[in-house]
Structure 1
Amino acid sequence: MPAANIFLSYRHADNDHLNGGIVQLLKDIQSEFEYKNAKTVRLFIDSESLNWGDDWQNALDQAVGMSNIIIPAVTPRYLQSAACRKELLDFYNHIGNDPNKKILPLIIQNIDGVSGLSQDDPVWKIVHASQHLVVRDLRLLSPTEREKEVIRITDRLTRVIKTMDETTASAQQDTQKNDDKSDGGEEGILDQILKMKQSGTDLNIALEKYGQGLNTVAEIVNRHPIPESRTMEEHSRWAQELSEELKPALKTVDDASAQISNNWEVIYAALQVWVTGIKEISSSAERNDQIDLIAQMLQGWHNSFQMSESIRVLPAQFTLISAFYPSLRPLARTLKSSIEMIGNMDKMTVSLQHRVESLR
């Protein structure tokens, strides 16, 4: 039995740019771990673990679900990749409060100041909340320096797996002690519902402010079409005036985004604990009641995260306009970042919905 099942999440273009360096780094870590510990680790690499004709997406989803460690090779392009973000968010959703599943990000390239990505972004938060390691530039390392880097990362991986094993053993002992308690999970579920109540109220208020801010942005943009005049002076004046008029509305959007992110973090953590607690309920009738209750709540969040078509196209409109009018670029980045954040929260909700339905 392997000591761990590791899923490598990476952007193929980054691996190609580094001449296969990301995949080779993980293979060397796998080999070093087995050399030091006399134990195997199973490493899932999509380009090598999938066979011709496999259902690619389904196979990836299954691999994410079966793994107990995911190692995202984080770069600016990774953070902007829809597929990479999905892998990381799916694993995060799969974790719940399970101490035997870990995210171990490797920062392959500096991600500070990535355009269009705020620190309220869920993927950004996951990367920085985890025990991430900054990897020195693989292109600039001598063979000896690279070997030291492999050893450093392997030592960290060894400690993490050892801690996971100890936590699992301790949890099994606790479970054995509490086997005679038939209602052990009920109190935990009630705690999570109470925890979500206030954060849920605050989240709804923030979402309302956020929607009002976005609608104001859309109204202002519609009131100020691009001038037909070809003079640079008039176009520059138009961009500056539009920028100034948009600032209050975008500040509302920005402030509401931060509130949404903070409250969603509390709610989502509670939801994960709740889902895990449902699995421990022995009575099928009671379990189904809890599933129905959380499913209804998740559907409500899913509905809250939906946006009209006129709002969804705003980032694309602003990106196009800001290419010609530099004064609008900061506003375009704020808008794109906040709308993507809501979209990611919706993906997290949908993923959790699927997890809940699988408990029936």
Structure 2
Amino acid sequence: MATSSGAAGFWSYTHRDDEIEDGRIRRLANKIANEFEVITAEELHVFLDKEDIKWGDEWRNRIDTALTGSTFFMPIVTPRFFKSEECRREVLTFSGHAASLGLDELLLPIMYIDVPGLHKSDTSDDVMTLIAKRQYENWTELRLEDENSPKYRQAVHRLATRLVEILERAAEVEPPPVNLAEDVNAEEEPGMLELMAEAESALPRWGEVMSEFAITIQEIGEAAREASADMEKSDARGAGFAGRLRAARQLSEQIKEPVERMSELGVQYSMELVKVDPGILGILRQVESEGAETYESEQATEFFKAIRDFAQIGRRNMVSFQEFSDSLQRVSGLSKSMRPLTKKMRGAIQKVMDGQAIMDEWERRIDEVTG
């Protein structure tokens, strides 16, 4: 049975990818674990099934208390991976904790199937950016090899050896200083209260972005309802599909500007949260280490409350944002002029959902710290 002691590897993949591959993804995890054990004479605990309660319990335990230098997170990267809310949330959660400890190498992606967007220097997908910045293992050709071939076995050995080397380096890494500001003088590093105040002051700014995002969605929704009414009137006049197409094209022209604004807001929101995530987690880790006197102080209490409130507001917004995202399926079929716009809107909503995943993790860690 796996425990929180010793090295562990959490595999993040979609079950459908593994089904299509006839179980090769799961078998690869076990082959790497076995090779690791042969090399080190120590077990690498592998967690594969996210539906197993032990996966979730051990994930939270290691994220909170035992991440330092002993826990790998290995996303199996495919086009379907980036469409999975659960997989995206796991990448964001782990990468923030790893970065806050100076242990970025513990996020070790395996490029299983090529994802073209991953190689774009200007990608606005925060999860793709996090994956692309890592030195991932390229398995795109190896997945086509016989699992018992020398080439495949040698690749498994190289990857297991790399895990051993990462663990050895990680043992010597000291957590970086907690720092949210970009222009802080190294000789005048802010104290805990300054860091909490700085993080807290950012919440209203993020709230304004969310409010503007919601207003923009409402604006687009109203335009879509007007277009729908125009189509009904067109049908009543017997204008047929030509009338519907005209209304759809008018709609696409009308919402181009708000869609662009919506996209920019989504990028602004998620990228900033990803950027400050390690700092916030570092603050929480430091507060936890300093004990009750710190986390029961007035400043800490206000800081925790501000983050909890913001996370809860975000979750309420997510309901309407998700409903809007679901409705885009109908809109995208109106005309080809709507397809790029609906794709951009879906992308913007995804970025906001990524940001919410980060906020939810902050709130969870606060609950752990204040227990």
Determine if the TM-score, normalized by the shorter chain, exceeds 0.5.
yes
Q: Pairwise mapping of residues 346-357 of structure 1 onto structure 2 (< 5 A)?
A: 346-357=356-367
Q: What secondary structure, in the 3-state scheme, does the structure 1 residue paired with 2:290 have?
A: coil
For 1:288, the equivalent position in structure 2 comes to 296
Query: Deviations for 1:223-257, whole angstroms, at most 9, x for unmatched residues?
Result: 21161326232222221111111001111111222
Is 1:64 equivalent to 2:75 in the alignment?
no
Task: Check conservation: 2:248, 2:334, Cα contact below 8 A.
Answer: no
Measure, in 1, the Cα distance between the counterparts of 2:305 and 2:155. 48
* Corresponding residue of 2:66: none
* Residue 21 (str. 1) matches residue 24 (str. 2): yes
Instruction: Tell me how far apart the structure 2 counterparts of residues 347 and 204 of structure 1 sit (CA, whole Å).
Output: 15
* Structure 1 residue 309, shift from structure 2 partner: 5.7
Deviates more, 1:309-318 or 1:73-82: 309-318
Taking a change above 3 Å as real, the CA distance of residues 277 and 310 of structure 1, as seen in their structure-2 partners, is closer
Q: Does 1:193 align with 2:196?
A: yes
Whether contact under 8 Å (1:291, 1:356) holds in the other structure is: no
Map 1:196-207 onto structure 2 (within 5 A): 196=199, 199-200=202-203, 202-207=205-210
1:236 paired with 2:240, answer: no
Q: Residue 201 of structure 1: CA displacement?
A: 5.3
The worse-fitting range, judged by mean Cα deviation, of 11-20 and 60-69 is 60-69
**Is 1:155 equivalent to 2:161 in the alignment?**
yes
1:182 — aligned with what? Answer: none
Q: How does 1:1-360 map to 2 (within 5 A)?
A: 3-46=6-49, 56=51, 58-67=53-62, 68-92=71-95, 95=98, 97-99=100-102, 102-113=106-117, 119-142=123-146, 143-167=149-173, 187-193=190-196, 195-196=198-199, 199-200=202-203, 202-225=205-228, 227-228=231-232, 229=235, 231-282=240-291, 284-289=292-297, 291-305=300-314, 306-307=316-317, 311-360=321-370
User: Residues of 1 paired with 2:278 and 2:142: CA distance?
Assistant: 35
Deviation at 1:58, TM superposition (A): 4.0
Greater mean deviation of Cα atoms: 260-269 or 103-112: 260-269
1:166 match: secondary structure: coil
Amino acid across the alignment from 1:123 = V
Q: May I ask how many residue pairs the two structures share in their alignment?
A: 333
Between the aligned residues of both structures, percent identity stands at 19
Distance 1:166 1:119 in 2: 33
1:9–1:73: 8 Å Cα contact kept in structure 2?
A: yes
Are the counterparts in 2 of residues 199 and 267 from structure 1 also a CA contact under 8 Å?
no
Quick one: distance in 2 between partners of 1:266 and 1:100? 16
Structure 2 residue aligned with 1:179: none
| CA distance in structure 2 between the aligned counterparts of 1:308 and 1:140, rounded to whole angstroms | 40
Instruction: Say which is worse superposed, 324-333 or 247-256, in terms of deviation.
Output: 324-333
Q: TM-score, normalised by structure 2?
A: 0.78
Q: Is the 8 A contact 1:71 1:103 kept in 2?
A: yes
Structure 1: distance between partners of 2:264 and 2:61: 38
CA distance in 2, matches of 1:292, 1:74: 40
Distance 2:302 2:116 in 1: 40
CA distance in 2, matches of 1:106, 1:83: 17
What is the CA-CA distance between 1:41 and the residue it aligns to?
A: 1.5
Query: Equivalents in 1 of 2:287, 2:320: separation in Å?
Result: 39
What amino acid does structure 2 have at the position aligned with 1:320? R
Q: Which amino acid aligns with 1:239?
A: A
**What is the deviation of 1:303?**
4.2
* Deviations, residues 266-300 of structure 1 (Å, cap 9, x unaligned): 33232111101111214x23322255233212123
Distance 1:141 1:244 in 2: 49
> How far does residue 64 in structure 1 lie from its aligned partner after superposition?
1.1
Q: Tell me, in whole angstroms, the C-alpha distance in 1 between the residues paired with 2:369 and 2:353.
A: 25
Distance in 2 separating the partners of 1:80 and 1:308: 17
Q: 1: CA distance between counterparts of 2:367 and 2:319?
A: 29
* Counterpart AA for 1:64: W
Q: Which amino acid letter does the alignment assign opposite residue 127 of structure 2?
A: V
**CA–CA distance in 2 between the matches of 1:272 and 1:26?**
29
273-282 or 80-89, larger mean C-alpha shift? 80-89
Measure the CA separation in 1 of the matches of 2:113 and 2:221: 36
Pair 194,129 (structure 1): closer, same or farther in 2 beyond 3 Å: farther
Q: What is the rounded CA distance, in whole Å, between the counterparts of 1:94 and 1:144 in structure 2? A: 37
Instruction: Compute the TM-score of the two structures, normalised by the length of structure 1.
Output: 0.81
Partners of 2:126 and 2:283 lie apart in 1 by 20
Label 1:266 to 1:103 Cα distance change in 2 as closer, same or farther (>3 A). same
Quickly say closer, same or farther: Cα 1:122–1:58, change in 2 above 3 A: farther
Q: Distance in 2 between matches of 1:78 and 1:63?
A: 22
Gaps of 5+ in 1: 48-55, 175-185
The alignment yields a C-alpha RMSD, in angstroms, of: 3.0
The alignment partner of 1:225 has SS state of helix
In the alignment, structure 2 segments of 5+ residues that lack a partner are 63-70, 178-188
